[in-house]
A and B are shown apart, each in its own frame.
Chain A
Amino acid sequence: MTASTGRHGDARPSMQDVADAAGVSRATVSLVLSNTPDARIASATRERVVAVAEDLKYRRDLVASGLRRSRTDTIGLVSDRIATAPWGWAMVAGAQEAA
């Protein structure tokens, strides 16, 4: 099993960790893992980056990604009775459908 901490004592592997192990730049890792169209990256390199990311159990940091893109892909619903009102579930379902 993978050891729990990395170079800075952090539990999560970073994009830089993937880049180091795969022998590519962080930009290349980003392009491969975000499936950026038109990125000219050799298929062997692409395959290696995907494999190393899986090997290191790398997961995108959705909070950091949201900050960078100014978009969290998250909808917040604020109400005082949303859980108990009889129409609460329908409100959530409607919001989800509209999104």
Chain B
Amino acid sequence: MALRRTTALVEADARSYERRDPPRWRDEAWRDPWVVADPDCRGHHMLTTARVPDGPPWAAGVIGHAWSPDLRTWQVHPPLTGPSGSGQPEVPQVVATGPSHLLLFSFVPHGLRHGGPARRVRTYFAPSRGPLGPYAIDRAVPVGPDATFAGRPIRDRRGRLHRVAFVNRGPGGFVGEVADPVPLDQLLPCERDGHARTAGRGT
């Protein structure tokens, strides 16, 4: 199959984001686009993995933001979050759960705010009232006890949310399989009226 080189629809804007800049970081941070419709029907929003150009790179990972009126032309907007304390919050996704929204992403947290020493990459969530935040990404909490990567929320036929995720590594090394779906409300740290609690966590 022949591959045709195409122009990117949207790229990181150097005013707000780091462009690929070795040796600061070996590869491009702007990736993993997740597109959601604007809640007021004003186009679409794109959330991305991104990094800001200021501060130490190992802490400067953010959730990037772009907006489009027609899904063809995109405007890059400032990040939706502050620095995460990690180099690259990966595979961001947003899902509505009743009155609130959850941002799911994967990263390697370190520092006291995340409750201890560095761990392996795993899926985390940060709650918010709307799809564009505000998200306290530096106070995100794990989605379940297991170290899964790129956890994705999906709805079953009855509308219940489940997490499907990639099992990156186990005790014996690389695993590389997709874990069975697990109801999301069983994995979040607390529950209220069937919805993930959105207020008061980690504040």
| Contact size range, B | 20 to 34
Tell me the number of A-to-B contacts counted with CB atoms below 8 Å: 73
Supposing A21-B87, A52-B87, A54-B121 touch, asked if A47 and B110 sit within 8 A by C-beta, the answer is: yes
17 contacts between A and B (CB under 8 A): A2-B27, A2-B90, A3-B28, A14-B26, A17-B25, A20-B23, A21-B87, A47-B110, A47-B111, A47-B117, A50-B118, A51-B86, A51-B109, A51-B110, A54-B118, A54-B120, A55-B86
Whether A23 is near chain B, meaning CB under 8 Å from some CB there, is: yes
* Known pairs A47-B110, A51-B86, A55-B108; A21 contacts B26 (CB<8 A): yes
The binding surface of chain B is classed by DSSP as loop
A79 to chain B, nearest CB (A): 28
Contact partner of A1 (CB less than 8 A), chosen from B26, B87, B90, is: B90
Contact B118 A21 (CB under 8 A): no
- Do the beta carbons of B121 and A6 come within 8 Å of each other? no
**B102 contacts partner chain A, Cβ-Cβ < 8 Å:** no
For residue B107, CB closer than 8 A to chain A, the reply is yes
- List 11 other contacts, CB 8 Å, given A6-B26, A21-B26, A22-B58: A1-B31, A3-B28, A3-B31, A6-B22, A20-B26, A21-B25, A50-B118, A51-B108, A55-B88, A55-B107, A56-B87
B117 touches A20 (CB 8 A): no
- Please tell me if the beta carbons of A55 and B121 are within 8 angstroms of each other in the complex: yes
